[in-house]
Structure 1
Amino acid sequence: MVTADKYLSYKLETNQLIYWIVNASNSVITECTEPSSSGDGIPKSVNTSGTVTLSGLVSLSKLIAQHADVTPPSILRLFQSVIDARTAFHAHYQQIAALYPDPEVVKRNTSHKAFIDALTAAFEALGGKEWAGSVANSNSAHFPAAEALKAKSDLDRLLLTNKFSALSASEEKDDGGEGLSDDEPHQNPAAPPRRQRAPKRDKGKKCRRGKKSKEQQKPTAFSKAGLNGLPLESYRIIQDKEGRETDDFLAALVLVKECRQLRYELQEAWREVAYDGLNSAVAGTLSTLAVAMVRRAAAAMFPDIPGQDSYESVMNTLTFGDVARAQGIYTAISIPHLLGEAKEVHESVVDIKEQFLIHAYHVLLDFIKDFQQNRNGKPTRRMMKEIRNWDPDFDLQKATTDEERLQWRRAYAINWLYDLVNVFSSDVVDGSVEGPWQWDTDRRLFGLTEFASHVTSLAMQKPGTDIGRQVLPHHVFELQCIMDSLAVSRGWSVDVHRGHVLSPPASAFEPQRDIDLFLDREEKVYWGFLTGLMLLQHALKLDRQQCGPGQLGHRNDGPLISLMQHFQLRFGGWLGDSKSTFSLPSIPPSRFSHTNPNGLWEYSPYLCGVGLQEGLEQGYLLGMQIWDKIPEVTYLVHLHNMLVQTGYIQEPINLLGTIEGIFDKSFFKDGKVPTTGFSEALVAHVGQAMPVSRPTARHRAAARPAALSAGTIHDTLSVRHNRFFKQISQLGLYREAGWNVHRIPDSDIPIRTILMTIRLSQTRHVTGHSNGTAQLEETELIRRMKADGFTDEMVAELHEMSVGDLEPCTENVFEALHKMFPQGRVTVHKVRDTLGLPAATPGQVSEPRSLTNQEVLRGLKIDLLDDVCGTNAPLLSLSYAAATVPILTVFKAMENRLSAKGNRLYERIYRAPSNTQTEKRRRLILAAMEEQDEECLSEMASSFEPGRLWFRDHVYWDELFEYGQGLPTTEMRHEKERASGRDHKALSDASSCVVMNLDLHRVMKLSQAITTKLSQATAIK
């Protein structure tokens, strides 16, 4: 199946191939003398643009072949990969041309064939045919497995280090002796036979190939050819109009496939939110990641011409400018994954308006055009007739036609968009995503700023403005997901085969369910975010009062309290609530005021999910600020550890023991929990004095303005600015990487997560310098895994599991990770036995695993569950403000008990008038650790109240996810649905492979039992 990832890989490989052709031919030209008069085809000057025509590709390849002893095998493999990919694309066009005999399609198909023919001619000119034959005839059993991986390493070295030349006889050796020399051809079975050098000519160019010194024989660096600094994307093949249109069609087709697949994944996530209690922040984060995936894919597929990447352009390309006429030419085939089973193959005509998101596009376009007519936030009379009677309680199962459901969804979306723009523009006039609302109390929307910003900027333009080129595919995709989130909660989903899939709506589902638990606006519990902030501020004020003998110095908590009050206003006023906006005289009433004036949130699970996602992330940043600025948290964790280690506390206090495990690197130097030398450990971590020294304070203060100038609360309160609490949440990692998890550096990837196994599955093997065997490249991630306790064997076998036995993004891998580290180390062999996996083959070497974006989302969902509401590392589930209150209470209890006892340590330290309260507490803890005062330590231990210090008493949610209990497998979930009478299982789910435009390579690998039927089926009718 042609996926976005495969298409982008094809484009990248084509860029790499042209890079090599251009630079290698430039090396030939620069080493030749006078221009030829015999017409030998050698250009007079080097190529400085990086572009070539199809005919130029062939002639330059022939030129290289005349002056090179042999073409590097890695380049020939690259040629073969590009040809294979283009041939697969051509197969789709052959079907289109046969079933849709339009002259334009025929022209594009002809250009496809011309492109393949040119690639093949260039490939054969460079010795590709002979090389392919030698590969086919070689016996791979006689060669080590590492040889199969050597080509990729060679290609990376050739392209990235820029130390090769087409004139070299073979791949260049590195300093470790890697590669093949002219005297060792037998070690590389895939090396092409040496070509005979062209006979010397009497006329024409004479290449300077005379005797050279050893230094001169080094390959010519391509930077000398005049192309230094030209980006790789600039190396491409220039095609005619038909060729460009062909490429555009392929890109558009792949893009809508990507949207369709990601849409199904998100439909499933929002269905789990409504029916199975999945935290909406998890689905919201998956949605944000998916939108970013679509955005990146579109930008990478259409990089050249402005407007070519618009949704309008994509749809015109796929429908040949006529949607009605194009309906019926696309069909989808469902192919069972399991080979050897004669399962039924399903073929269905694709509803292109639904599957290509055309309905969603028309909703967005019609809304923008209607808003532009008045630009006062009120629909026109014509639009009002269409949308004013929207009924949120409409029974979708009782709709007589699909059109009736579509009209219900359209009316909802346009009403919702009116509320969105009115709320967003209430204090934001320019509609720019870099506007001033990003870091102040006037921000009206959590989680949807970018989408709301763009839609608002379009809606505010003058009537008649052509906005078609400004609506990009990811805007349409996000609107589709917004509509889907409500529809699936009402029992309506859309499948490529089954069309409209209906079931009873989720009973008693409230889109704000999780926001209500997080905020606790009604103060039902004291651990909600708002309640926790209120209690902590009260506790800090009480803590300033007199305690013990003499007056204690005041804490400097003013800035922190102001920050907490700021968050109370922002979250209490705007997260999940926009009613106050519609009370402004300049803003029209909500379009949902007849049923719910807060309909913008109450009728949008999507907005609630992405809003909660951002709220949790910001709440975590505030929590880290609180703990970084209230040192009692660190002091008490160190004291608790000492009391447990020395037996004064028999069982660890749950809250303190849990946060010690989660934030070990924040509480202890290098994350090492001390068993002796407790005072030294505390001093080593916090320094002799807790207040920051003046030079350090100036240095940290200098770093803050840069963050503040960025204008976002995420940058301003980034944990990377903190002194101690620098642990970043997974949501924070995703945001920093622009919602592209592949950009997260190895140094930041959390250990023992699915993201870790996904990155590990991409790790390649390299050839060892000492014995020539293949071994995993020693990446920073692998070094961190070993430092965390993974042995070489565990890393190697986990890699094999993630690229071979298991997908690296499944619940089974998650289970395996956490079975490796219970009490006592458990080897991967035992994990394999537990999971019923076969033993790894000795010496086995597997290629890096290529995952679809769908698979990546499924894996990240498991990590997000753990981050948001799990039991392993639930960074985002803890109410940090609420959890700080009992910690301060423990200190107050210790001081009261020691004061009542007249303890000598307490009296000595607390009667000193010059120290602040926090400094006295630090000195008391250190003195107790150093002097081992029995009375003091006993009273301290008695001050802990286990009944008030439970971790789960300070999390936002009613319960936390535990593996095996809160995360059903796909089959378990569908079994539950069947038992409840709402079987949502679609033909496009995880048990089947859905193909639009029949993938011939996939078909060839299927079982013989279904081959006959598949050969008669087509993906385009």
Structure 2
Amino acid sequence: MSPSNTYIRYKRDQKLLVYWLIHASNAIIKSFPAETTIPLNTSGEIKISTLVSLSEVISKRISPIPTSIYRLFQSVIGARRQTHLFFKQLAAEDPDPEIEASNVSHEYWLNGLVKAFAILGGETWLSERQNAPDAADEGDEDEIFSNKFAGLNLDGEYDEDEEEETSETPVKMPPRVQKKGTKKGKGKKGKKAKGKGKRATEGAEPADIPLESYCIIEDQTGLVTDYLLAAHSLMMEWSDLRSCMQEAWRRVAYLGLHSAIAGSFGHIAVAMLSKSQVEIMADFPGHDSFETIMRTITRGNPDKAQGMLRMVAPDKSSSDNSAGTVLGEEVDVREHMMIHAYEDLVDFIADFQKTRSGKPTKSMLKTLHWDPTLDLSQASSDVRLKWRRAYTINWLYDLVNVFSSEAVESRNLKGEPADLASVDWSIHGPWARSQRMFGLGEFAGEVTKLAMQKPGTDVRSKILPHLVFQLQCIVDSFCVVRGWIGDTITSPADDFCARRDIDPFLDRSLQDDGVGYLRGSEFMWAELKMAAIRNPEPEYNVVAELGARVGGDFKDWLGETLYKDGLESIPPSRFSNSNANGLWEYSPYLCGTGLLEALEIAHGASMFMWDRVREPSLIVHLHNMLVKKGYLDQPVDLIDELTNTYRNEFFCKGKIPESRFFSALYAVMLRDAGAKDSSSHEIKVQRLKRNVNTVHDFMDERFNSVYRTKSLARLLREAYWVPDRISDDEITVPSSLALLRLRRTKRVIDPATGAKTLADTVLLRRYREAGWSDELISWLVGALDDAQPLDEPPQPNGRLSALPPGYGHKILADSKASLHLDKGNLSNEEFFFRILKTDMRNQIVLGPCPILGLSYMWITLYCFHIFSRIEQKLKELKHPYYDRIYCDPEESKNMGLTFTVMEEEDGACLRVIAECLRGNPACVGDYFYWPEVGSGSVYSEEPEDELEDKHEHEHENGD
């Protein structure tokens, strides 16, 4: 996906554009030396004046110019124009020499770029696009360059068919320099590396110059101009992301979106901004703090900047969205730039540092009175801001006190002072082994580190934009619930509770029909303890201990904390006057991210359990045999869905047997034993290499012998919440994210048929392994590309009937709808979040077998219950298997029965097992933590195109 950050896209597109101009002009100069006096370019650098000259050379010999080059021009022009217009507003009211010089530089650049674009026929291309707009080109760099130059013809023609269909004899791509993210305090190193790169290119052949070295060179004013562009682009990105997050929490509170899905959005939004922050500030070491960026944009005075700034946005009516810009409404500078959140954070840290006792100072305490029931619609703007500030600082006090509580308690118990300023508060530090802040461990660690510094320590240079942004999103989530959405005020969400989605998952109230984790883990622990006594299965005790630990962490620190009941060494909650559990009750964001992490852990613990507890696998094999042999007229829904979802784990190579059932089971046992033997050494080596400190480390699915299926939440965490980093080897198949990648897979020409087909990739092979035929894949990709409607309902012999089991038509339709949204009216962030929402919903509440939304503890208990019923029936019938298997102290009871009955195929015993399954029917929906969509539950969020009609803004304008 194209980068959403304007500066990153600008730098990338500028390099690509300069690369093409230099290589194209050099090729012409070599072939027609008498036509121009311009020398060959061997440096990879050009000036704006040279850009115009090279464009004139190229326009005489290359026609037509590749469409992608026009788009690169438009992207670079659009980025410059957008920033120029923004800073031109600042200089208009109160001229500043540096800003004015930068604006002159911007103007010079824009004129040169526009002139070069016109020389190459850009204006004609634009007018043609107005009549027949084409799709955006999002090909990667390799494809752009190998294909464009393969079709370069110096006789004056450009073969567009060749551009699309061949990559033979491409111009050699320049080597890439591995760009390292510049960390805080490494500024000098970054500068040195930049200089070295330039010297290395002097006198080099263009093909040997790293792509990163291609640029339009500037003077010192140009460097300032670039920083202004970079700072403005970060501000625009966090503004767009903040709007997306506010909309997500609006959907949670008012429309029933699951809070864990919004929690995943929060992590990804922070990761997006962090990634841009690192990439951008590598060019400007030492200028990456929020304070510096804020002062640059507001010229050091936010209040003075108020009234001067209007939003600058792409002109949607323009022939090209990236080139046209318009001025929008005047913005509230402090709100738009998150200055309120930043100042609240700085004030909290300064106040906490004064005593490091976890209690506000007397002067701060006077400002922290807070009423959670305040009617915001009746409050003035000033009152609302004070209300939000008091909430923010109170909440931060509770956050740091809970997060640091174990370290502080340990210090107090030892009776010796600890240097809290030097403690490693990160998620990899010594205190990470105790899970006290589900969902926000990293954020809490960063804030705690700053708050625990010695009194008077100025931390402003260490506060980066992503930290302020995350705090802003946390605060916004509660404000949205109270009806404060952006710059509008509406009624609070009726009866909304931040813990709405946590409570069914844990089921602290122990409802009789509930399948909550807490009671399930307690029962499972007791069952495994008993099973360990009756069976020679030593690992049952290990699983029971893990289950007890995870359940204990959830009980003590998810949704509510021991802190609310008071700890001797920790001050009481700042929200004690209204709700001692305010840390959670007043933070939908914490509840969403906390629940998401808990679901990830619960799934990991379940895979750990199933890798060592055989009963679920044994039941699946017995069930398959009974269905295929006709002992069961209808499959048991729960077991059938589990079979389809985990078929690769339950059966060798995922092949569900139609006969020879004992051989299939025996092959699985051999496979599992071999996997366990081969993985045991790997596990020991890996655990020696790294510190297995947290529950995430301990339950890493890579260490399992067989059950290695990872949830999307786990994949995203391992990818540091950047979905593009998830490898094709691991991305969930099928899913909307996988379909998006499949849709963008390179097309190649089949030499036998001449038809275009998808290149043979890891992802394509995984789709095939999952049961998708080439015909079905081609049809699906074509349907996504051409907006062809899906047949509904699927015909018995139609393509949709060939969908692999477990992948319902509804999920396919949802994926198609997400991928086929009119992206022209959506930002990159909005488009991406809608795709991600489809996959997250399928794994939590919507899918036929949502792997994150299933109560595996209760499912496993069901399997033990079935075996218990079988044992009882065999005993009642005095079947010979009972004495043979259940009275043998050395026999593994459930495994022994399964092996015996599947090998001997005893009809009487098979009928007993079938009767037990029929008498205990289980629907997979019975084991969802949350009600199924469609049953009138709060999770029945409505389709995107119906949302605005139903929820047409009831908002009243704020003061």
Q: TM-score range by the shorter chain?
A: 0.7 to 0.9
What is the correspondence of 1:435-474 to structure 2 with a 5 Å cutoff?
A: 435-436=428-429, 440=433, 442-474=434-466
Farther-moved stretch of structure 1 (91-100 vs 359-368): 91-100
Which residue is equivalent to 1:953?
A: 926
Deviations 1:125-154 (A, max 9, x none): xxx946879989999x9xxx99x98x968x
Query: Equivalent of 1:359, from 335, 340, 363?
Result: 340
Farther-moved stretch of structure 1 (570-579 vs 14-23): 14-23
Q: For 2:105 and 2:543, how far apart are their aligned partners in 1?
A: 66
- Cα distance, 1:790 vs structure 2: 4.7
Which residue is equivalent to 2:236?
A: 257
Which residue is equivalent to 1:398?
A: 378
CA gap of 1:227–1:584, structure 2 versus 1, over 3 A, is: farther
- Cα distance, 1:942 vs structure 2: 2.1
Q: For 1:896 and 1:796, how far apart are their aligned partners in 2?
A: 52
Which residue is equivalent to 2:505?
A: 518
Query: Equivalent of 1:645, from 628, 644, 647?
Result: 628
- Cα distance, 1:277 vs structure 2: 3.2
Deviations 1:366-400 (A, max 9, x none): 2112222222222222211111x21112121221x
Which residue is equivalent to 1:874?
A: 850
Deviations 1:501-542 (A, max 9, x none): 222222322212221211122322452111111101111233
The letter of the residue matching 1:476 is: V
CA gap of 1:370–1:718, structure 2 versus 1, over 3 A, is: same
TM-score by length of 1: 0.76
The letter of the residue matching 1:660 is: T
Which residue is equivalent to 1:968?
A: 942
CA gap of 1:55–1:710, structure 2 versus 1, over 3 A, is: farther
Does the Cα contact within 8 Å between 1:528 and 1:956 map onto a contact in 2?
yes
Does the Cα contact within 8 Å between 1:865 and 1:961 map onto a contact in 2?
no
Query: Equivalent of 2:725, from 734, 740, 743?
Result: 743
1:507 maps to 2:498: no
The letter of the residue matching 1:670 is: K
Which residue is equivalent to 1:200?
A: none
Deviations 1:60-92 (A, max 9, x none): 969x989x9978988x76654443223223433
What is the correspondence of 1:666-685 to structure 2 with a 5 Å cutoff?
A: 666-685=649-668
Does the Cα contact within 8 Å between 2:621 and 2:665 map onto a contact in 1?
yes
The letter of the residue matching 1:650 is: D
- Cα distance, 1:329 vs structure 2: 2.7
Deviations 1:845-884 (A, max 9, x none): x999996012111221122112111232311111111211
Query: Equivalent of 1:84, from 65, 71, 74?
Result: 74
Q: For 1:119 and 1:413, how far apart are their aligned partners in 2?
A: 46
CA gap of 1:595–1:835, structure 2 versus 1, over 3 A, is: closer
Farther-moved stretch of structure 1 (296-305 vs 954-963): 954-963
Which residue is equivalent to 2:47?
A: 54
1:624 maps to 2:607: yes
Does the Cα contact within 8 Å between 2:353 and 2:453 map onto a contact in 1?
yes
- Cα distance, 1:820 vs structure 2: 6.2
The letter of the residue matching 1:109 is: N
Does the Cα contact within 8 Å between 1:905 and 1:924 map onto a contact in 2?
yes
CA gap of 1:446–1:734, structure 2 versus 1, over 3 A, is: same
- Cα distance, 1:715 vs structure 2: 3.3
SS in 2 for 1:620: helix
CA gap of 1:264–1:651, structure 2 versus 1, over 3 A, is: same
CA gap of 1:220–1:959, structure 2 versus 1, over 3 A, is: closer
Which residue is equivalent to 2:414?
A: none
Which residue is equivalent to 1:14?
A: 14
- Cα distance, 1:773 vs structure 2: 5.9
Q: For 1:634 and 1:977, how far apart are their aligned partners in 2?
A: 47
Which residue is equivalent to 1:97?
A: 88
Q: For 1:482 and 1:847, how far apart are their aligned partners in 2?
A: 28
What is the correspondence of 1:620-769 to structure 2 with a 5 Å cutoff?
A: 620-687=603-670, 691=673, 695-696=677-678, 698-702=680-684, 704-705=686-687, 709=691, 711-766=693-748
Deviations 1:279-327 (A, max 9, x none): 2211111111111112222222332223323222222222222212221
Which residue is equivalent to 1:201?
A: none
Q: For 2:431 and 2:46, how far apart are their aligned partners in 1?
A: 48
Query: Equivalent of 2:552, from 566, 569, 579?
Result: 569
- Cα distance, 1:798 vs structure 2: 4.0
Q: For 1:117 and 1:21, how far apart are their aligned partners in 2?
A: 18
Query: Equivalent of 1:156, from 136, 142, 145?
Result: 142
Query: Equivalent of 1:303, from 279, 282, 290?
Result: 282
Which residue is equivalent to 1:931?
A: 904
- Cα distance, 1:794 vs structure 2: 4.8
Does the Cα contact within 8 Å between 1:762 and 1:849 map onto a contact in 2?
no
Unpaired segments ≥5 residues, structure 1: 32-38, 162-169, 173-178, 192-215, 547-551, 807-812, 839-845, 988-1021
- Cα distance, 1:12 vs structure 2: 1.2
Deviations 1:28-62 (A, max 9, x none): 9999xxxxxxx99779xx75xx7x46379659969
SS in 2 for 1:944: helix
CA gap of 1:681–1:42, structure 2 versus 1, over 3 A, is: closer
Query: Equivalent of 1:901, from 872, 877, 883?
Result: 877
Q: For 1:715 and 1:611, how far apart are their aligned partners in 2?
A: 17
Q: For 1:639 and 1:828, how far apart are their aligned partners in 2?
A: 26
Farther-moved stretch of structure 1 (219-228 vs 306-315): 219-228
The letter of the residue matching 1:937 is: L
- Cα distance, 1:456 vs structure 2: 1.1
Which residue is equivalent to 2:572?
A: 589
The letter of the residue matching 2:490 is: S
CA gap of 1:248–1:26, structure 2 versus 1, over 3 A, is: same
Does the Cα contact within 8 Å between 2:227 and 2:284 map onto a contact in 1?
no
Does the Cα contact within 8 Å between 1:433 and 1:450 map onto a contact in 2?
yes
Q: For 2:711 and 2:786, how far apart are their aligned partners in 1?
A: 29
Q: For 1:279 and 1:822, how far apart are their aligned partners in 2?
A: 34
Deviations 1:225-279 (A, max 9, x none): 4999986545544433322232223333332232222222222222232233332
Deviations 1:406-446 (A, max 9, x none): 11011100111111111112234425314445653x33201
The letter of the residue matching 1:930 is: E
1:171 maps to 2:115: no
Q: For 1:229 and 1:446, how far apart are their aligned partners in 2?
A: 49
Percent identity over the alignment? Answer: 34
- Cα distance, 1:955 vs structure 2: 2.4
Q: For 1:319 and 1:362, how far apart are their aligned partners in 2?
A: 15
CA gap of 1:160–1:881, structure 2 versus 1, over 3 A, is: farther
SS in 2 for 1:321: coil
Farther-moved stretch of structure 1 (905-914 vs 246-255): 905-914
Which residue is equivalent to 1:35?
A: none
What is the correspondence of 1:743-822 to structure 2 with a 5 Å cutoff?
A: 743-766=725-748, 774-788=756-770, 790=772, 792=774, 794-796=776-778, 798-803=780-785, 805=787
Q: For 2:60 and 2:315, how far apart are their aligned partners in 1?
A: 48
1:114 maps to 2:108: yes
Q: For 1:854 and 1:451, how far apart are their aligned partners in 2?
A: 24
Q: For 1:230 and 1:470, how far apart are their aligned partners in 2?
A: 36
- Cα distance, 1:896 vs structure 2: 3.0
Which residue is equivalent to 2:263?
A: 284
Does the Cα contact within 8 Å between 2:749 and 2:755 map onto a contact in 1?
yes
Which residue is equivalent to 1:198?
A: none
The letter of the residue matching 2:373 is: D
Q: Which has the larger radius of gyration?
A: 1
- Cα distance, 1:95 vs structure 2: 7.1
- Cα distance, 1:818 vs structure 2: 9.3
1:613 maps to 2:592: no
SS in 2 for 1:348: strand
Q: For 1:561 and 1:413, how far apart are their aligned partners in 2?
A: 40
Does the Cα contact within 8 Å between 1:871 and 1:962 map onto a contact in 2?
no
Larger relative contact order (Cα-Cα within 8 Å, sequence gap ≥ 6): 1
Does the Cα contact within 8 Å between 1:977 and 1:984 map onto a contact in 2?
no
